[in-house]
Structure 1
């Protein structure tokens, strides 16, 4: 029995979606294994400190790493009023330099 072109396209799309899902899971597992922070932690870089609200994953030139998004805080731990949210890159971590 011959497979129609439309059926082939559907099968290939499903295979590609599964491959993307598996790739993203592998990247997340790799980044999480190197990531000392979780949601709610305080992350400090050269700009200042943020309380991590979200973690995303990014491919740099040679490696994968985490990007943190959260509320920027002052030295006393209170939220800044001007531009209170920002992104911070794991590679800019003050503790690991």
Structure 2
């Protein structure tokens, strides 16, 4: 189990651009994005997403990115990944 994330977490990227992540644990500086197929097949959108991801991480946040298909196929892996990311960010495991 992992703590419930906040929805629509607003942060400011390293380049000064404010963005909203789908979900996150701001107290641990961990964010979660769920992308659709268009983010993977549209080249312009893909480059925008990569730039955004870099700027989020340069601002000191950890970012996990999943597709809806990944979440549906392996929810157990999702929970494990989030748990590992939160623990690496200092979460002590309490809910």
Shorter-chain TM-score above 0.5: no
**Shorter-chain TM-score tier:** under 0.3
What is the TM-score of this pair, normalised by structure 2? 0.22
Decide which structure has greater helix share. Answer: 2
Asked which structure has the greater RCO (Cα within 8 Å, sep 6+), the reply is: 2
- With normalisation by structure 1, the TM-score equals 0.22
